[in-house]
Structures are given as C-alpha cells and as structure tokens.
Amino acid sequence: MIVHMRERVVAACDGASKGNPGPAGWAWVVSDDERTAARWEAGPLGRATNNVAELTALERLLTAVEPDVPLEIRMDSQYAMKAVTTWLPGWKRNGWKTAAGKPVANQDLVVRIDELLDGRSVEFRYVPAHQVDGDPLNDFADRAASQAASVQKPAGSALGSAEPPPSPDTPKAAAPRKKAPRRTGDGATSRTSSRTIKAKFPGRCLCGRSYAAGESIAKNAQGWGHPECRTAEA
C-alpha cells in the first residue's frame, strides 16, 4: 500500500524476533495526529534476527510512503537508526566494509534503505521501548511486529485487521492507591466486605437478634450483623 500525502508525516517502525534468531516480523505505522495509527502494515519474515527485522520494518515504511513526503520516523532500535544515520556514510566510502574491513552485516537491506533515503527529507527520532507512558506510535508498531512474528501472518489497516494486542514486555501502570476505609462506631469499617471481624461493641443484626462484643460479625447492605444474615447486595 502506497501512502499518498505531501504534508509532514509522523511514523514509527519496529521489528521483532522471537529467539534472535527465531520467528520474526516487521511493522510500520503512519499517523495523522502524531498519536494514533491512521494506517499500518505488518508482515512475517520466517526465521530472522532482530536486526534484520528492524531494518526490514524501516525499508517497508520508506517504500510505503511517497519519496516527496517529509517524514519523522520514531524507532526504538539504536542499531537500525545508527546504521542508516551514523555508520552508513563510512560504509559506503569503504566499499560496504566496516572499519575493521569486514563486510557490512545485512548489506542488501542497508543498501536498499540508502537508495530509499536519497533525496528525501527524513528525521529519525529515538524513543525507548516498553515504557508505561511511552510513544504510542512506537508501541503500536512494536505490538504489530511482535504479533506478526508470533503468528507469521500479514496484517494491517488495508486488510481490516484488528489492533494488535498489548505487549507483555510493557509494564502496566500502577493502580491508584485506595483511600483507607472510614471507621464506624462499632470498630468495623464502612466498606462492604465478605470478611468477618470481631465486634468491639454489642449491637443488633438486621434479623432482629443482637450480637455481643467479641462475636464474629460481617458487613451487609444495612450495616453489621451475623455472617449468615448477609444479603445478596452486601
């Protein structure tokens, strides 16, 4: 799917490998508002490394967006970003050899990305992965790539695919702290609970019978009383 736009586009891409090497997948996402996915695509790679998956995701994104569209690309892969922004010029000068004289890893993908970057306006932005309040576009791409690696099937907005599931690697936000329950006159708490406590003071149950101090009582819809008298609403 080719994305036809002329205004600056914010996008993200990511790759995943379950085992590195292992079942791998790639994904990219394009946004209209810098936060939500307007268009996205993901695909399987069979068995591959994480670096291959990351570079493939970038190559597929650059292929999907018209070359005259200014791009901001958010990535969580330091390797893929440095490969195309920092190391690539030196590799080209050295005939696609590293500083140590060894062939550049994943050269075919790096060469293809170099061709796709030629003459176009692209700003790369590093964003950390798997953060509670992390970049939503990178998170979406991460989840889509992970799903593609797991199921080895293509997905995307053009296919009508559902949004990829949450990543198990992203910690959940801490739940808000609950306020302490208010104490009542008989020493019990005001919150309805299934637990029983020992009454500090004598009282009367809703059944009409009284209970003594030290007797086990439980919360019900109308107050405190015998545990066996708890109502369905309690």
Question: How long is the chain?
Answer: 234
Which residues does 210 contact at the CB level (< 8 Å), separation at least 6?
202, 203, 204
Q: How far is CA 9 from CA 66, 90, 116, 155, in A?
A: 11, 29, 16, 21
Name the token pair of 52.
Answer: 């291959």
Report how far residue 122's alpha carbon sits from residue 63's, in angstroms, rounded to the nearest whole number. Answer: 13
In the DSSP assignment, the letter for residue 103 is B
User: Known catalytic residues?
Assistant: 14-15, 54, 76, 130, 142
Q: Which residues pair with 12 in a beta bridge?
A: 29, 74
Backbone φ, ψ for residue 190 (5° rounding): -85, -10
H or E element in which residue 29 lies:
strand 22-31
Q: Which residues pair with 125 in a beta bridge?
A: 74
Q: Which residues of 41-78 are buried (b: 16+ CB within 10 A; e: fewer)?
A: bbbbbeebbbbbbbbbbbbbbbebbeeebebbbbbbbe
